[in-house]
Amino acid sequence: MGIDGGGEARKHVCVTGNWGLLSSWLLRSLLERGYNVRSAIPKSADEAAELMALPGAEERLEWTQLAADLMDYGSLVEVFKGCVGVFHTTSPSDLVSNYPPEMIDLEVRGTLNVVEACSNAAVNRLLLTSSLSAMVWDQHRNSETVPVASAAGACIDEKCWSNLDFCRSKKLWGPLAKTMTEKAAWALARDKELDMVVINPAIVLGPKITTSRASIMAYLKGVKELPQSGLFAYVHVEDLAQAEVSAFEIPEASGRYICYERVVSELELVDIIRKLYPHRSVPSRFSKSGNPHVLTNEKLRKLGITFQTSEIVDC
């Protein structure tokens, strides 16, 4: 499969899903690269006006209500017709404590509708946004009783999956939803022989001006249980969007890709947590008694996709 540099081969693409932050940056990136883009109507008039002010939007950005209703399979087929690619973005699940469990079935069914519709509409490639949380939650990696020596060498890569039973036992509904959804999507895509590429981003921060302790603290504030046990990695949304467009265009791209800019060290994270919650004890998994994890995005880097690693500053 190839989506090359221009012309008729990449005339129309569609952006679906309910993750407004990523969707808006995908629209920017796709318009910059000359695509004609179909997308769900933004929730606010101000956001719609801002996006329509982007260069090329008046000529090449088309709003469609059909892309928003993932339960309407027939409408998805209609809106996907003529598209060489579909970008499906669902809300992130890094905040493991606030995902409504009743949404799991809807997320799975909606994504399966997208996969089926892409197949029937002869879409060349589906770019699905999943999450790193579909990889990291496993009893063996997240147990404080496992000796550090036995866990330290375990590298989290694209072969890893979160354990469904473990997620259920810990009521980790967000990671459970992402894992179930991605596994179901892969099963159907293979059955339909659909070319699908999946990006598994780490924690997604807002647009990159600078990466500050304040931005990470704002993300963590109010979270009852911190994301990935013993692991805090992030990527900025504009870099994620650029990585997704690149992975869509590169013919050799296949399978899953972990996407992150930087892993925050345990010492840095402990310091941030102590400043954010001075009267709360630091979770043991972020102390020296916790199990250190190793994360790699080597597979993504082999596609030539790189990020400029930003330092965390005090502001």
Strand 85-89 versus strand 61-63 pairing type: unpaired
Tell me, rounded to whole angstroms, the distance of Cα 17 from its chain centroid. 12
Q: Which helix (H) or strand (E) holds 254?
A: none
Q: Which of 170, 178, 183, 221 is catalytic?
A: 178
Collapsing DSSP states into helix, strand and coil, what is residue 271? Answer: helix
**Which residues touch 295 (CB under 8 Å, ≥6 apart)?**
155, 156, 202, 231, 233, 258, 260, 263
Collapsing DSSP states into helix, strand and coil, what is residue 27? Answer: helix
Q: Look up 178 and say whether it is catalytic.
A: yes
Of 113, 32, 28, the C-alpha closest to 79 is 113
Phi, psi of 304 (to 5 degrees): 90, 10
Collapsing DSSP states into helix, strand and coil, what is residue 144? Answer: coil
- Mind telling me the catalytic residues? 178
